[in-house]
Amino acid sequence: KGLLAVYENGKLIGKITEVKKTFSHLLLVNDPNFNLSVFVGEFGSGLLKGNLTGAKILYIEEDEAIKKGDRIWVRAGPSSFPIEVGKVKNIRKGTNQLFCDITVELASEGAFFDKVFILK
């Protein structure tokens, strides 16, 4: 439970939420119940939250210098390689908002996959 799943080109598609004797449940990254701490660009970090049209990143303040097109990524473990999640699609900040409203273009958007790999 909690392990990340990627498809054959190494892009994130979800995480394991439940493990049974003969199968496991995979929660896809665009599911409204999906959330995961991610890195944005070189120095930013936030919480990726899925939604049916893609995903959003929550809890990034305006002064963190996030730009449109910045890559969004995660590591499965301390010694693992970066896993691509997507890139920043749009950034919006309202006048009375503490955090930016960041929409994400998921790397797995529109992808069809035959194989799923679970990263330990």
For 42-100, write each residue's pLDDT tens digit.
Answer: 878 899 999 888 899 998 876 667 889 999 999 877 767 889 999 999 988 777 778 88
Given a contact cutoff of 8 angstroms between Cβ atoms, the answer to whether 58 and 99 are in contact is yes
Q: What is the pLDDT of residues 59-69, one digit of tens each?
A: 887 666 788 99
**In this predicted structure, what is the pLDDT of residue 103?**
93
Find tokens 């392990």 and name the residue: 3
Give the residues across from 40 on adjacent strands. Answer: 44, 72
Per-residue pLDDT at 20 exceeds 90 = yes
